[in-house]
């Protein structure tokens, strides 16, 4: 079966954040590919990736970028494959720049925008798994179990430790 989730990011420096999405997909047994595709530094790569995404069998694209974060939106403009955007936390503006760059898409080209940083990347992995689980009962069971385990790990009361 072809890989159905593509994780793309603007730079190698985004990988520590985007790896949180990959970790979740590993935990849930969802195959993925991870690529560096920069809207500014490798625009031709972005164009080819978007042009070929649906034909290659990708079902969801998780796109993370920081600063002037045009990657998720540009990818959404080039493919009908759903794009989940992850605003990478930046030093200068703490990722608010990334968030605003990703979230304010014009009507017609949606990007499902997550929270800033690692929590957003992890949630992007969960969102991608949830989308695939609508047509994959075995994955749906694994995702339900993952969610139940998380709930079960939360203590009833706080401790001083
Ligand atoms: C963006 O610029 C990338 O997504 C990254 O978050 C940011 C900084 O990139 P580097 O200068 O660290 O390569 O395009």
Q: Which of 56, 40, 49, 95 is nearest to 76 (CA)?
A: 49
Per-residue CA distances from 13 to 19, 23, 90, 126, 149 (Å): 11, 17, 10, 22, 31
Query: Over 70: is that where the pLDDT of 77 sits?
Result: yes
Residue 45 tokens, joined: 């790569």
- Span 111-154, pLDDT tens digits: 999 999 999 999 999 999 999 999 999 999 999 999 999 999 99
> Where do the domains of the chain lie?
5-141
Task: Return the pLDDT at 161.
Answer: 83
Query: Over 90: is that where the pLDDT of 2 sits?
Result: no
Q: Give the side-chain half-sphere CA count within 13 A for 155.
A: 5
Q: For a pocket test of ligand 1, which of 34, 40, 43, 66 has the largest count of ligand atoms closer than 8 A to its C-beta?
A: 66
Cβ atoms of 85 and 21 closer than 8 Å: no
What rounded mean pLDDT belongs to the chain? Answer: 97
Q: What is the SS3 assignment for 61?
A: strand
Cα of 88 vs centre of ligand 1, distance in Å, is 9
CA distance 125 to 50: 19
CA distance 10 to 102: 13
ipTM computed for the complex? 0.96
Task: Return the pLDDT at 1.
Answer: 65
CA distance 85 to 71: 9
Task: Return the pLDDT at 31.
Answer: 98
Biggest CA pair distance of the chain: 54
- Span 34-57, pLDDT tens digits: 999 999 999 999 999 999 999 999
CATH architecture of the domain with range 5-141: 3-Layer(aba) Sandwich (3.40)
Binding residues for substrate: 11, 14, 41
Number of Cβ within a 10 Å radius of residue 11: 18
CA-88 nearest atom, ligand 1: 6
Q: Which of 60, 41, 40, 70 is nearest to 131 (CA)?
A: 60
- Span 87-98, pLDDT tens digits: 999 999 999 999
Cα of 68 vs centre of ligand 1, distance in Å, is 9
Query: Over 90: is that where the pLDDT of 100 sits?
Result: yes
- Span 8-30, pLDDT tens digits: 999 999 999 999 999 999 999 99
């Amino acid at each position: 079966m072809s890989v159905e989730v593509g994780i793309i990011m603007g730079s190698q420096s985004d990988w520590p954040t985007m790896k949180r999405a990959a970790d979740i997909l590993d935990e849930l047994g969802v195959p993925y590919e991870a690529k560096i595709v920069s809207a500014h530094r490798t625009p031709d790569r972005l164009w080819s990736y978007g042009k070929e995404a649906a034909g290659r069998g990708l079902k969801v694209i998780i796109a993370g970028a920081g600063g002037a974060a045009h990657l998720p939106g540009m990818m959404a403009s080039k493919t009908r494959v759903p794009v989940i955007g992850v605003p990478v936390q930046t030093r200068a503006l703490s990722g608010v720049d990334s968030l605003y760059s990703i979230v304010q898409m014009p009507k017609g080209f949606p990007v499902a925008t997550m929270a800033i940083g690692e929590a957003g990347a992890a949630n992007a992995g969960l969102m991608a798994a949830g989308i695939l689980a609508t047509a994959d009962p075995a994955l749906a069971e694994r995702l339900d179990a993952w969610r139940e385990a998380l709930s079960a790990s939360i203590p009833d009361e706080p401790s001083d430790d």
